[in-house]
Amino acid sequence: MREQLAKMKAEALEALGRVQTPSDLDTLRVQYLGKKGELTAVLKQMGKLSAEERPAMGQLANEVRAVLEEALDRTGRRLEQAALEARLKAEAVDVTIPGAVHDIGHKHPMYIALDEIKDIFVGMGFTVLDGPEIELATYNFDKLNAEEGHPSRDWSDTFYFDTESRVMLRSQTSPMQVRAMETMPLPIRIIAPGRVYRKDEVDATHSPMFHQVEGMVIDKGVTMADLKGTLNTVIEKLYGEGTVTRFRPHHFPFTEPSCEMDIQCHKCGGKGCPTCKGEGWIEVLGAGMIHPNVLRMSGIDPEVYSGWAFGMGLERLAMGRFKIADLRLIFENDVRFLEQF
Ligand code: PHE
């Protein structure tokens, strides 16, 4: 029995030395120390021993069990350690390998121009507002002094969502004038950039969707001179000192008097070319003194307060700013075009 135990111990230790996986380790544990294992089998023979031999053999068997248990645990830890090392090795990241180079996009030229415009106005104390593109006709027209049937509604009375013609894609950013007047404390200085929609056909200077930047000031004693001074300052900041502008009389239902502002064509310097359709000038915005009816409808007393507003075409301004000849380039998003800015 003594030899049996010694042999079993030697075999077990040798087998443990070779074991590679946790499941093999379990098998060995069962094989040697399990209820039906080899050690139990040896112990079953204890009955055959004499009373003198039994204690010594029992002690030896316990020593073998302790040695094997310890060896099993040690092997278990060895396997765990090896598994951890293998995983660390497999998951190692070589931070010195150069990364894959991705093409990174960049800001669209129109948004570059918009950011410049925002900066200029914010520097003058204006707040930037955002407003709905799906607008109520009340805000797009009625509260802007153009009620149902007004001839100025014809050209833009277009994209409606319901048969009662109440909800529409806004045709201008001017409804933001009303929204600001209704919600903000006086005095007000805001700009409100955003998309607008019209039934225009696409050509070098038109698109059924384009962007406007609305601007508005309401305070005591505000005049047309403030409007012209502000716009000329903004245009010079945007296009450089000495940029030539001109103001022409015009009509909008919500301003009185009204005007349009042109800048001298950036392409031909005023001589006339395809970009300015031979005019030498490019129209960039409509503006005027806010009509007393509009102020009154939004709860502002026109005897105390006055104001001006403008709405500029952002694409046209960006075209001038970056000397872009065709509006369609702005919407096509051809990277060869966009990469140039
Ligand atoms: N909303 C006008 C347009 O789209 C522009 C404008 C804005 C005119 C503000 C006067 C005042 O043409």
Instruction: Please report the pLDDT score of residue 157 as a whole number.
Output: 65
Task: Confirm if 285 and 250 have CB atoms less than 8 A apart.
Answer: no
Q: Which of 169, 162, 158 is nearest to 134 (CA)?
A: 169
**Buried-exposed string 210-226: b where 16+ CB fall within 10 A, e elsewhere:** bbbbbbbbbeeebeeeb
Residue 81 confidence (pLDDT): 92
Please give the pLDDT value at position 60. 85
Specify whether 42 is located in the same domain as 131.
no
267 and 301 in a single domain? The answer is yes
Residues 235 and 280 grouped into a single domain: yes
Mutate which of 222, 252, 310 for ligand 1 pocket (most atoms within 8 A of beta carbon): 252
Check whether residue 45 and residue 136 sit in a common domain. no
- Asked if 234 and 293 sit in the same domain, the reply is yes
Question: CA dist 313 to 54, 139, 214, 257, 289, Å?
Answer: 106, 20, 9, 20, 19
pLDDT value, residue 204: 79
pLDDT at 274: 84
Q: CA 268 to CA 287: how far, in whole Å? A: 25
Atom nearest to 173 CA in ligand 1: 1
For residue 312, give the ligand 1 atom closest to its CA. Answer: 5
Q: What is the pTM of this model?
A: 0.70
Show the tokens assigned to 133: 């593109």
Cβ neighbours, 10 Å, residue 29: 19
Q: Which atom of ligand 1 is nearest to the CA of 258?
A: 10
The CATH number covering residue 334 comes to 3.30.930.10
Q: Spell out which residues line ligand 1, taking CB within 6 angstroms.
A: 172, 174, 252, 255, 258, 286-288, 309-311
The list of the chain residues with pLDDT below 50 reads none
End-of-domain residue from the set 57, 90, 123: 90
Q: Is residue 263 part of a domain?
A: yes
The pLDDT assigned to 261 comes to 97
Same domain, yes or no: 169 and 57: no
- Does residue 244 form part of some domain? yes
Separation of 311 CA from ligand 1 center, angstroms? 4
Sorted by sequence, the CB contacts under 8 Å of residue 112 that are 6+ apart come out as: 318, 322, 341
User: What's the pLDDT tens digit per position in 65-92?
Assistant: 888 889 899 999 988 998 899 999 988 8
Question: What residue has token string 């001589």?
Answer: 271
- Which two three-digit tokens encode residue 226? 């403030």
Distance 313 CA to ligand 1 centre (A): 10
Q: Name the DSSP class of 162.
A: S
Q: What is the pLDDT of residue 120?
A: 97
User: Which amino acid appears at position 303 of this protein?
Assistant: E
Residues 263 and 136 both lie in one domain: yes
Number of domains in the chain: 2
Is the domain of 68 the same as that of 131? Answer: no
If you ran DSSP here, which 8-state letter would residue 126 be given? P
Reading the block at residue 279, the tokens are: 């005019």
**Are 39 and 137 members of one domain?**
no
Determine, yes or no, domain membership for 158: yes
Q: Model confidence over 7-32: pLDDT tens digits?
A: 888 888 888 888 888 888 899 889 88
167 and 19 fall within a common domain? no
Asked if residue 122 and residue 227 are part of one domain, the reply reads yes
By residue range, what is the domain housing residue 55? Answer: 2-90
